[in-house]
Structure 1
Amino acid sequence: MKIIAEETAAIVIDYQERLMPVMAEREKLTAASDILLRGLRVLDIPLFITQQYTKGLGRTVGEITEAAGTEQYTEKISFSAYEAVLPYIQGKKYVILCGIEAHICVLQTLLDLTDNGYVPVLVTDCISSRKLEDKAAALRRAEAEGAVLTTCESVLFELLVRAGTEKSKKIQKLVK
């Protein structure tokens, strides 16, 4: 199965001020997520930021809103982002997932997407948890549930399809 750009949206889950400082491998997460989000913008993939209980966990960190090109977000109280973003992803087949925490909000969103006929695409270098064992467990569960596991660079080039275009030049610049 190949991920088709026109049939794809992305959910950017809970990269919030009070959560990010305690994420495992935070610097790697931020760097890969920056590349992913900038690349998705180049490829015209619609992306939607969620925030879990903003009053308590703060806003999305600046590095992520800058990479996403927006500070707009959808507030959620449920751990899953599915219901909050459903109006935005209708008509899409593939939903790219990135964010935190892998074993809670990201995984529950993935499960709801699967249950409702979407193909979740989990970008493994753009998710994290406080503990790496929780991330590892989330990856095993996601794979068992039928999610597509990929990396930032892999999914961007899959969506790109061809080299030699203006978009491919921009993507290549991002990943170098």
Structure 2
Amino acid sequence: MPWQGCRILGVRALVAEQRPEVLGGTVPELGAGGLPRLPKTAFSVAGAAEPLLGDPRIRHVLLCGIEAHACVLGSQPDGAHPGGGVWGGVWGAVWGSRCNLGRGPSQTERALALARMRQAGAFVSSCESLLLLLLRDSAHPKFRQILPLLKEPPPDTGLILGGL
């Protein structure tokens, strides 16, 4: 949902992929097809996204991802950029932890990562809430295009928010 909403609203989005030549690329089921890809080896996205983050018009960066305790949390402290603003963890778009290690998602790792991001000043939000904040008003000209995304039930990750 976050990428589809970004496309509709004209919000710039990109996909940073952790060593895609080894781990594979972003799966089509996440709906990120056609977005620019940034391969990276660092857990933080800041180095790979430096050309984008250096734009002084950028006030906020929305951070979504798969590995909550690694790349998502690793990117959050680097969120300061010349435009100011805080990286935001979008709860409905942070799907798990330890997914690629064959152990399945970890509720503990995910909850701790989101709690730490929140303590560092990130606003942890749901995808639906984020889209509504971007729209600001049901009279927004793109509201009707966003409405089907709001009606979609969020994916059941099997994980809990963990005291946030």
Q: What's the TM-score bracket when you normalise by the shorter of the two chains?
A: 0.7 to 0.9
Matched AA of 1:135: R
The two structures have a TM-score, normalised by structure 2, of 0.79
> Taking structure 1 as reference, are residues 60 and 69 closer, same or farther at Cα in structure 2, changes over 3 Å only?
closer
Q: CA separation in 1, counterparts of 2:61 and 2:136? A: 18
Where does residue 16 of structure 2 map in the other structure? 50
The two structures have a TM-score, normalised by structure 1, of 0.74
SS in 2 for 1:124: strand
Deviation at 1:112, TM superposition (A): 0.8
Q: CA separation in 1, counterparts of 2:81 and 2:47? A: 12
**Please, which of 77, 91, 99 is the counterpart of residue 124 of structure 1?**
91
Where does residue 71 of structure 2 map in the other structure? 105
Q: CA separation in 1, counterparts of 2:28 and 2:130? A: 24
Q: CA separation in 1, counterparts of 2:33 and 2:52? A: 17
Q: CA separation in 1, counterparts of 2:93 and 2:32? A: 13
Where does residue 83 of structure 1 map in the other structure? 47
2:37 is the alignment partner of 1:73: yes
Q: CA separation in 2, counterparts of 1:115 and 1:162? A: 28
- Higher RCO structure, 1 or 2 (CA under 8 Å, sep 6+): 1
More helix by share: 1
Deviation at 1:118, TM superposition (A): 3.5
Where does residue 96 of structure 1 map in the other structure? 62
SS in 1 for 2:48: helix
Q: How many residues align?
A: 140
Deviation at 1:114, TM superposition (A): 4.1
> What 5-or-longer segments of structure 1 have no aligned partner?
1-34
Moved more, 110-119 or 130-139: 110-119
**Please, which of 150, 153, 161 is the counterpart of residue 125 of structure 2?**
150
> Taking structure 1 as reference, are residues 81 and 147 closer, same or farther at Cα in structure 2, changes over 3 Å only?
same
2:102 is the alignment partner of 1:138: no
Where does residue 20 of structure 1 map in the other structure? none
Deviation at 1:120, TM superposition (A): 0.8
Sequence identity percentage: 34
Moved more, 108-117 or 118-127: 108-117
Q: Residue 53 of structure 1 contacts residue 75 of structure 1 at CA under 8 Å; is this kept in 2? A: yes
Q: Residue 48 of structure 1 contacts residue 74 of structure 1 at CA under 8 Å; is this kept in 2? A: yes
> Taking structure 1 as reference, are residues 103 and 115 closer, same or farther at Cα in structure 2, changes over 3 Å only?
farther
Q: CA separation in 1, counterparts of 2:119 and 2:81? A: 13
Deviation at 1:108, TM superposition (A): 0.8
SS in 2 for 1:148: coil
> Taking structure 1 as reference, are residues 62 and 157 closer, same or farther at Cα in structure 2, changes over 3 Å only?
same
Deviation at 1:103, TM superposition (A): 0.6
Instruction: Indicate the RMSD between aligned Cα atoms, in angstroms.
Output: 1.6
> Taking structure 1 as reference, are residues 134 and 168 closer, same or farther at Cα in structure 2, changes over 3 Å only?
same
Q: CA separation in 1, counterparts of 2:120 and 2:46? A: 16
